Every structure is written in structure tokens, then in C-alpha cells.
Amino acid sequence: MDWFMDVLLIVVFVARYFIAKYSLPKFAKKIVGSQFDKKLETHKHELNKLTEEAKFNYQRLLSDFQ
């Protein structure tokens, strides 16, 4: 029974090593990438809004001078 516990502990440690080495970095990249994509889309939306406001103001100024 001692050898079984030793083998089981080795399997558990190896599994934890591979989970920590491969799964956690992928999970972290996925979370960071998701947050980055959200912020990027928000920034694009804000830039488009500012661009539309600038176009509107420019058209208004052109119509005032005519």
C-alpha cells in the first residue's frame, strides 16, 4: 500500500506541474486579452463619437460662413 501512495503522490505532483505550467498561462492570457479587447472597443467607440462630433461642428461652421 505504501508504493500506491507514493505513485499517487507522484501523479498528483506531475499533474499539478503541468496544470501550472500550461493551463494557467493560457487562462491568464485569455483573461488579459478579453479585458484588452473590451477596452480597445470602448476606445474605438469613443473615437468614433468624437469624430462624428467634429464632423458635425465642421459642417455647422461651413454652413455659417455661406
Question: Residue-wise pLDDT tens for the chain (66 aa)?
Answer: 688 888 899 999 998 888 888 887 888 888 888 999 999 999 999 999 999 999 999 999 888 877
Which letter does DSSP use for residue 3 in this model? H
**Can you give the pTM of this predicted structure?**
0.55
Q: Give the pLDDT of residue 26.
A: 85
Instruction: Select from 21, 27, 58 the least CA-distant residue to 35.
Output: 27
Letter string b/e over residues 4-37, b meaning 16 or more CB atoms within 10 A of that residue's CB: eeeeeeeeeeeeeeeeeeeeeeeeeeeeeeeeee
Interatomic CA distance for residues 1 and 12, integer angstroms: 17
Q: Give the pLDDT of residue 19.
A: 82
